[in-house]
Amino acid sequence: MGKEGKGNSKGNFQLKVPKGTRDWQGTDVVLREQIFSNLTEVFKRHGGVTIDTPVFELRETLTGKYGEDSKLIYDLADQGGEICSLRYDLTVPFARFCAQNAVLNIKRYHIAKVYRRDQPAMTKGRMREFYQCDFDIAGSYDPMLPDAEILRITKEVFDSLPGWEGKYTIKINHRKILDGIFQICGVPQDKLRTISSAVDKLDKSPWEEVRREMVEGKGLDPEIADKIWEYVQLKGGREIVTQLQNKPEVVANESAKQGLEDMALLCKYLDILDVLPALSIDMSLARGLDYYTGVIYEVVTEGSAPSASSKDVAKKEKKQKKSADPDEDRSNDPTIGVGSVAAGGRYDELVGMFSGKAIPCVGISFGVDRIFSITQARLDSSKVVRPNEVDVFVVAFGMGKDFTGLLPERMQVAKTLWDAGIKAEYLWKEKAKFQSQFKAAENGKVPWAVILGEDELKANKVKIKEMGLPKDHPEKDGVLVDMGDLVLELKARLARQRDEVALRPAAGNDAEEKEKEAEVEK
């Protein structure tokens, strides 16, 4: 690029990605792909089939489905007489798909990018273009059985991720309980959704701020707001359901009564499926999206909540000029946390909004980029993410001026491994130095080396060496095997390491290995 590529003045082009987006490369891509793989494995285990939908939908498809969040939808210019918008999530397109194709029952998963014109906080996984991984069940079944399986899937997903087991909480509530509580407290019917959106901010803001929004911003009577607080501060295990069922004013409300019956049955099933230990029944969980009709849930972890409330930084904001740029990255803003890493619930009426025929649905959406940010921070320092999935590096060993480098032999062995489905590489240099070959294997974190030596080849043998073994290990220098047994021997060793393909200790760093390589070079 010339000077024009770097400038910011009028008429000059600045080479950059749009705000709220990023390029992905190297080990970041590998770790994200591993998260995708873990999710997909769990989805398939539970009978999921995948679908794909367009990245943009007709604007009228998305309109009126997201409540206050509708302002975050990316609208596109008129193209050929159709007004379209980028998809905001994967749930509404799924409902449109079911209605359009007359789908009556399906277990579907979908991994794809979605778009939201939110203020970004890139290092916390809050972006404008990001991946969601959804699992949804559509169809009429006995009460709470699909809901229980969705939550079991959620537990399996997070237990499968490195550094997550025991470090997450599935918060759960029920829209009918919440609506019933609002009715008991005296919230006008036309304010149910807006007050619900305010309550949903209690995981980010203190009650004083939420109350102020309700009263000053949304015109709610202060006494009603105080009554709401008596209920929404309740959280705990299944005893919360019993506690609410013992309140006469609650069970007298039909909506709350029905929601509590659902929750009691769900807890019974979740006890069988061993999900209850990860569960927290939280009356402040509201989920702002308009389409939820029953059970709602979200997954939180360390870092989900902000480190400071907006009240804590109010004085600082007064001194500073409030940013007029809604696109400014807020990664360093202490009032912004990672947020929930997965969320979902039951939405029995969404398909009917398109087709007129209601099809019960329940689902969960995993925010991969938020999960990635936390997983990356939690990785043990003794672990590394491999930049690729190569399992074997083919190395030639030899000394002296007459050493040919054994390039044809290396190519032949690599070809044999490829034919057997084994991921392999060799250095693209005719007379590659032994040290250079091992350095390439080490940089790629390749777990195994096949070493070809002139004397061994004459006897139709090669050495298999596991990289990174301690100096006192009996197989530190490798194991001699017949060339005809190479594939079987490697496959047996790789099978034992299958669970370590993505994450394993760094290889080939001990001093003895370095000394030996240097000696060979001499």
CA–CA gap between residue 399 and residue 453 (Å, rounded): 10
**Nearest-5° Cα angle at 45, 41 to 48:** 90
CA–CA gap between residue 158 and residue 499 (Å, rounded): 16
Spell 228-241 as b/e; 16+ CB within 10 A means b.
Answer: bbebbeeeeebebb
CA–CA gap between residue 422 and residue 428 (Å, rounded): 19
Work out whether strand 168-174 and strand 279-282 pair parallel, antiparallel, or are unpaired.
Answer: parallel
Is 292 one of the annotated binding-site residues? Answer: yes
Residues 6+ apart with CB under 8 A from 224: 185, 186, 187
CA–CA gap between residue 141 and residue 360 (Å, rounded): 8
Is 330 one of the annotated binding-site residues? Answer: no
User: Could you give the angle at which helices 222-232 and 175-185 cross, rounded to 10 degrees?
Assistant: 140
Q: Helix, strand or coil for residue 298?
A: strand
Is 91 one of the annotated binding-site residues? Answer: yes
Is 89 one of the annotated binding-site residues? Answer: yes
Element (H, E) at 464: strand 461-466
CA–CA gap between residue 462 and residue 75 (Å, rounded): 61
Is 136 one of the annotated binding-site residues? Answer: yes
Is 66 one of the annotated binding-site residues? Answer: no
> Which of the 8 DSSP states describes residue 190?
G
Closest residue by Cα to residue 101 from 89, 111, 93, 109: 93
Query: 369 burial class (0-12, 13-18, 19+ CB within 10 angstroms)?
Result: buried
Closest residue by Cα to residue 141 from 352, 291, 362, 363: 362
The Cα-based distances of 434 to 153, 396, 509, 519 in angstroms read: 48, 7, 16, 10
Is 117 one of the annotated binding-site residues? Answer: no
**Nearest-5° Cα angle at 481, 475 to 484:** 155
CB atoms within 10 A of CB 456: 16
Cα 220 off chain centre by: 37
Binding positions:
89-91, 116, 132, 136, 287, 291-292
Binding positions for L-histidine:
89-91, 116, 132, 136, 287, 291-292
